[in-house]
Structure formats: C-alpha cells, structure tokens
Amino acid sequence: MTVPAPKPWILGIAPYTPGRSTTDDGRKVTKLSSNENPLGTSAAAKAAFDAADRTLERYPDASAAELREALAAHYDLDPARIIYGTGSDEILHLAAGAYAGPGDEIIHVRYGFAVYEIATRRVGAEPVVVPDRDYATDVDAILAAVTDKTRVVFVANPNNPTGTFTVRSEIARLHAGLPDDVLLVLDQAYAEYLSPEEDDAGLALAMTEPNVLVTRTFSKIHGLAAERIGWGYACPAVIDAMHRIRAPFNVTTAGQAAAVAAIGDTAFVDATRAHNDTWRGWFVEQIDAMGNAGLRPVPSKANFVLVLFEGSLSADAAYHGLMEAGYLVRWLPGQGLPNALRITIGTEDETRGVIAALRALTDR
Ligand SMILES: *Cc1c(COP(=O)(O)O)cnc(C)c1O
C-alpha cells in the first residue's frame, strides 16, 4: 500500500522537545525547565482573561486591534506595523515562510533556539549553523556565513539556551554587515528582563530599517504562556508579507484581553524583573562557589542560567539527581549541550532548593 509522502525536508525535522513537568516515574515536581514566570501572571491580566467576552461561537478580532493599540501606546510604535501570533513561535515560522524556500539558506547560532531549525526546514530551506564564542553569539561568524543564498538570520537576544547577551553596538554591526535583502530576525523573548540601559535597540532598528523584524512574547515575563501570544515589529512590507500566510484568527479573544491588561500592569513586570535580578544574581554566586567541583555559569541576562559541568559531576548525573530531589531542569544533549543544564530562576524557595540539591550532588 502506498501512503502519501511528506516532502523530504519535513522528514529531516527533529520534533521540538518541550520542557518536562513530570519525572521519569511520573511524579509532579518543580518545573524549572521552560523559563516560565515563577511569580505567575499579573492579577490584572487574569481578571481580564476571566472577564473576556464569553460569546464562544464568535471568532476573535482577526485584526487584534486593541492589542496592537496597547502595544503601540506602550512602546511608542506604529500599530499598523505590529503583527501578532500564536506565540512568537508562529511569527518565527511566518518570517521563514515569507522569505525563504527550497534552495535558500537561513543562519542561526549553534546553541540557539530550537524553533529556528524547525522553521527553516519546514519551508525547505537549509539551516546554516555558525559557531559561538564561548557560548555567546559571534557576529563575525554570522557575517562570514552569509552567501548569496542567505535569506534570513535568526538571532535571539538574550539568547536561549545560553542566556548570553549581544550588546547594542554588536547588533548594529551585525545589521550593517548584512546585505539589504537579508531579513534579520531579532528574537527578543527575554528583552523585558534587561534594564532600559541594556536595550539592544532592536525596536529602534525595526522602525527605520526595512530588513529588521523584532519578535516579542507574552509567554515569559508576562506569565501568559498558556494563552500563546506573541508579536512582531517590522516595516510595512515585511508585516504585509507575513499577514498573507498568517492563520486568520490566530490569537484568542481571552488571550487578546489578557495581553492588553498585561501590558498595562507595569508593576508586575517590574516586580518580576527585580525578583529575577535578585535571584539570578544569588544563583550565579552559588554556582561560582561550586567552581572547584567543575560547575561554571554562562553569563546570563535572561530568566535562566546555563550551567556547565566540567568536573566529575556530569550534567547527566546532575539532571537525574535534581529530578530525584524534585527539580526538573533542562538537559540538552540533543542541542549539542550534553555537558550543561539550563535552569530557570524560580521562586526564592525553588532557587534555594535547587542550589541545595546541587551542593549535595557535588559533595557526594
Ligand atoms: C520562549 C521563547 C520564544 C517564544 O515562545 P512563544 O511562547 O511561542 O511566544 C521565542 N524565542 C525564544 C528564544 C524563546 O526562548
């Protein structure tokens, strides 16, 4: 019997592996594997979600007008140049779909976000993977990889899973070095964790440069991961191209309402950033103190830290030991990081607990 044959490039995709929430033996434990907000969701966003129109037979606002207005007012943007997606993941797929296809190349860094490779292969394009510089994004390596087949460059800033940050002048140098017909996608899923002075000026670039797309999400600092809402900012031509292939009603009614309220709740965002600064700082100090056991934190500007295991305790053993102790973190051998764990900064108790468990493992 013959069966329909998927396109060959589809079979080249390794499915995305989500962060786990249960242990090998099915116990529910503390999840520090998906960079979710340990403080939960803004009360205002939850209330807006609960109060949202319950006319469930009606489609949501296909133009997400209120959401775009709220974003435009908050960030001082042109609402017509905002696109929205079912998570920012959808927008990454739209960028690849609108600008690349078979025979084209899309560049991303070796330790980059797993969705970039999936989005690239999905449209039949070829992923071009460039080396890092001690886990950080190497602008020169990206520029050296550009060919006349390059259509898109994906850069997350801060990067996931490394947490590393590329400063404004380096982002500007990357953009200046790219041909005008290459779309630079700056994935700013963790941008709200930066202080205002650290801004990489991605949105400012997207305002003036026709080949820059910035993507943002409500899944991380806004604590709305369950609702799947992301957005992007680019010049009208890029937004127009992506709208043509976007799913027509891609953000739910309650999700749009919750997101509008989340944007307005700056106190919650500030509290989350402050919590993260405090506990990421403490976490990194504690990992540094385990340096004699071979643990090394990669410098992070996000809400997680990539911890390298370069001594006798392996990342594999630490992963399973932490699971035993009740903490699920991210081990990424499939992404070329068998020697590292990506650990989300949790509540104070969770952060202290994961450090105590790591110390017990290194003392063993
Ligand atoms: C979490 C994350 C996203 C987006 O997630 P959505 O929930 O789809 O908005 C995008 N890029 C990076 C680097 C991320 O870590």
Q: Which of 265, 284, 167 is nearest to 218 (CA)?
A: 265
CA dist., res. 205 & res. 214, Å (int) = 9
Question: Are residues 349 and 225 part of one domain?
Answer: no
pLDDT of residue 1: 80
Question: pLDDT tens, 260-306?
Answer: 999 999 999 999 999 999 999 999 999 999 999 999 999 999 999 99
Q: What is the pLDDT averaged over residues 236-241?
A: 98
Question: Are residues 87 and 31 part of one domain?
Answer: no
Residue 152 tokens, joined: 């898109």
List the residue whose alpha carbon is closest to atom 6 of ligand 1: 87
Question: Are residues 74 and 208 part of one domain?
Answer: yes
CB-CB contact of 305 with 283 (8 Å):
yes
**Residue at a domain's end among 241, 264, 287:** 264
Question: pLDDT tens, 77-131?
Answer: 999 999 999 999 999 999 999 999 999 999 999 999 999 999 999 999 999 999 9
CA dist., res. 108 & res. 315, Å (int) = 25
Question: Are residues 141 and 130 part of one domain?
Answer: yes
Question: Are residues 61 and 27 part of one domain?
Answer: no
pLDDT of residue 324: 94
Question: Are residues 173 and 289 part of one domain?
Answer: no
Closest ligand 1 atom to residue 219 Cα is 7
Task: Show the domain range for 283.
Answer: 8-40+267-362
Question: Are residues 350 and 242 part of one domain?
Answer: no
- Residue 320: pLDDT over 80: yes
Question: Are residues 203 and 118 part of one domain?
Answer: yes
| Beta carbons within 10 angstroms of residue 117's beta carbon | 20
What is the CA(49)–ligand 1 centre distance, in A? 21
H runs (alpha helix) in the chain: 8-11, 43-51, 65-75, 87-99, 114-122, 139-145, 168-177, 202-208, 236-245, 253-264, 266-288, 315-324, 348-363
Split at pLDDT 50, 70, 90, the class of 47 is: very high
CATH no. for residue 83?
Answer: 3.40.640.10
Nearest 10 degrees: CA dihedral of 37, 42, 47, 49? Answer: -50
Number of domains making up the chain: 2
Q: Tell me if residue 308 falls in helix, strand or coil.
A: strand
Split at pLDDT 50, 70, 90, the class of 132 is: very high
* Percent of the chain topping pLDDT 90: 94
- Residue 19: pLDDT over 80: no
Q: Which of 95, 217, 103, 206 is nearest to 154 (CA)?
A: 95
Does a cis peptide bond (omega within 30 degrees of 0) precede residue 161?
yes
List the residue whose alpha carbon is closest to atom 15 of ligand 1: 160
Q: Is the pTM of this model over 0.95?
A: yes
List the residue whose alpha carbon is closest to atom 10 of ligand 1: 189
Q: Which of 152, 137, 155 is nearest to 202 (CA)?
A: 155
Task: Classify residue 126 by burial, with Cβ atoms within 10 Å: 0-12, 13-18, 19+.
Answer: middle
pLDDT of residue 212: 98
- Residue 65: pLDDT over 90: yes
pLDDT of residue 28: 79
CA dist., res. 252 & res. 235, Å (int) = 25
What pairs with residue 108 in β-bridges? 129
CB-CB contact of 128 with 150 (8 Å):
yes
Split at pLDDT 50, 70, 90, the class of 18 is: confident
Q: What is the pLDDT averaged over residues 151-164?
A: 98
Question: Are residues 207 and 145 part of one domain?
Answer: yes
* Tokens 């991303």 found at: 108
Q: Tell me if residue 230 falls in helix, strand or coil.
A: strand
What is the CA(86)–ligand 1 centre distance, in A? 11
Q: Say if 310 falls within a structural domain.
A: yes
CA dist., res. 295 & res. 268, Å (int) = 33
**Residue at a domain's end among 240, 264, 288:** 264
Question: Are residues 79 and 205 part of one domain?
Answer: yes
Split at pLDDT 50, 70, 90, the class of 194 is: very high
CA dist., res. 195 & res. 280, Å (int) = 14
CATH no. for residue 335?
Answer: 3.90.1150.10
List the residue whose alpha carbon is closest to atom 12 of ligand 1: 189
Average pLDDT, the chain: 96
Question: Are residues 191 and 80 part of one domain?
Answer: yes
Q: CA-based angle 299:300:301, to the nearest 5?
A: 135
CB-CB contact of 133 with 142 (8 Å):
no
Q: Say if 333 falls within a structural domain.
A: yes
What is the CA(31)–ligand 1 centre distance, in A? 17
Residues with CB under 6 A from ligand 1: 87-89, 113, 156, 160, 187, 189, 217, 219-220, 225, 230
pLDDT of residue 75: 97
- Residue 20: pLDDT over 90: no
Q: Say if 3 falls within a structural domain.
A: no
Split at pLDDT 50, 70, 90, the class of 26 is: confident
